[in-house]
Amino acid sequence: MRTLDQLEARKKTVLVRVDYNVPIKEGVVGDDTRVRASLPTIKELLEKGAKVVLMSHLGRPKGVDPAFSLLPVAEVLADLLQKPVKFVTGLPSSDEALADVRAADYGEVLLLENVRFEPGEKKNDPELAAKYARLAEVFVLDAFGSAHREHASVVGVARLLPSYAGRLMEKEVKALGKLLHGPETPYWVVLGGAKVSDKIGVIKSLLPKVDGMLIGGAMAFTFIKAIGGQTGNSLVEDDKVELAAGLLEEARSLGKQLLLPSDVVAAREISSEAETKVFPAFGIPEGWMGLDIGPESRKTFSEALAPARTVFWNGPMGVFETPPFDAGTLAVAETLAGLDAYTVVGGGDSVAAVKRLGYADKFSHVSTGGGASLEFLEKGTLPGIEVLGGLSPEEV
Ligand code: ADP
Ligand code: MG
């Protein structure tokens, strides 16, 4: 990938695609991690003497909707940079936006409005990409969390301007690349979360590289059903049961361990007040839902991970949002935090869990990209990487 090392940014207008898809409630930004993660690139470009024009998506608005405006992010960014940030209220493709950008000086920072207010954004409309491109002389892609999207503000505009990877993009690709190329062994992967279907690709591609995989969360029940277990009212993807059986068979033929929970904490409803019972994971009675891995599984999982030298974790072990069903996720976070190993956590909910439980700084790398990190691990590259020149052997 071309990086900022190759960019002579002095007196250039640089359009930077960042990932400011942050949680906003009633105009207030919740977690500002993604804004902080963009600072190294912005500061470097300012030091080099560029005019910095930032663009991002936020949420999934249907057309222009003030609830999805990036304005609150401009305020957070200005605080973090300790510098004014000009918020451009016109649509990014508008002539007003172009005029605002032209009127700004080098050394200034502007933030454009939500690119998903533009109907052509997700369709990668070439006319829209051209409207973005006319705003600047150079494009920097720093939105790792969006680098798997073939959208106009990601790949469309990159094809029209000289384009470079920002520092966050570089850091993510290096950190995740270590999970694909020569990871230290034993190498374990911990998967959980809601659906098997989200993670099939990554299971298939990582299985040959790892020593073993631990499967928790709701996705474990599809596997449990595949081996004839009774899952009660737990979340099962019935149309993926056969596929889960296939993955188990694949693991067996490769000689890899694929560990499922042996017990679960179950309840009749998802509520902190609900009565809970521990059942064998293969024998959950009707009316009961497995909502977390059980105490015996917490122990087995921790023991399996103890010798690991490399661990990738995606997906919580249970409904961590609703205690007490966060105990399994907490146990895994605690175990990984204590390992002398290269540990990476990726995935929106997993990262939120690790942060809420206070373990984020104990990981070697906390990825800012959920879907992007999984797709990168599955394919070894992303559309947003390819458009910046792809990966050279030294980069992987
Ligand atoms: P990530 O965002 O880290 O990739 P996912 O989106 O795949 O993770 O899954 C997270 C969701 O899975 C959480 O909302 C959590 O409540 C849910 N989940 C985990 N275990 C269970 C379970 N046993 N039953 C129902 N939902 C679960
Ligand atoms: Mg999620």
In tens digits, the chain (396 residues) has pLDDT values of 999 999 999 999 999 999 999 999 889 999 899 999 999 999 999 999 999 999 999 999 999 999 999 999 999 999 999 999 999 999 999 999 999 999 999 999 999 999 999 999 999 999 999 999 999 999 999 999 999 999 999 999 999 999 999 999 999 999 999 999 999 999 999 999 998 888 989 999 999 999 999 999 999 999 999 999 999 999 999 999 999 999 999 999 999 999 999 999 999 999 999 999 999 999 999 999 999 999 999 999 999 999 999 999 999 999 999 999 999 999 999 999 999 999 999 988 899 899 988 999 999 999 998 899 999 999 999 999 999 999 876 666
Nearest to 313 by CA among 341, 274, 284: 341
Q: Read off the amino acid at residue 286.
A: E
Q: CB of 7 within 8 A of CB of 170?
A: no
Q: Is 212 in the pocket of ligand 1 (CB under 6 A)?
A: no
Beta strands at 28-29 and 24-25: parallel, antiparallel or unpaired: antiparallel
Q: CB of 39 within 8 A of CB of 1?
A: no
Tokens coding 242: 């056969």
Sequential DSSP letters for 237-288: -GGGHHHHHHHHHHHHHHT-EEE--SEEEEESSS-TTS-EEEEETTEEPTT-
Q: Is 198 in the pocket of ligand 1 (CB under 6 A)?
A: yes
The angle subtended at Cα 291 by Cα 320 and Cα 303, nearest 5°, is 75
Q: Take atom 5 of ligand 1 and give the residue whose Cα is closest.
A: 193
Ligand with the closest atom to the CA of 350: 1
Maximum CA extent, the chain: 68
Q: Is 370 in the pocket of ligand 1 (CB under 6 A)?
A: yes
Return the percent helix, strand and coil in the chain, to nearest 5.
40, 20, 45
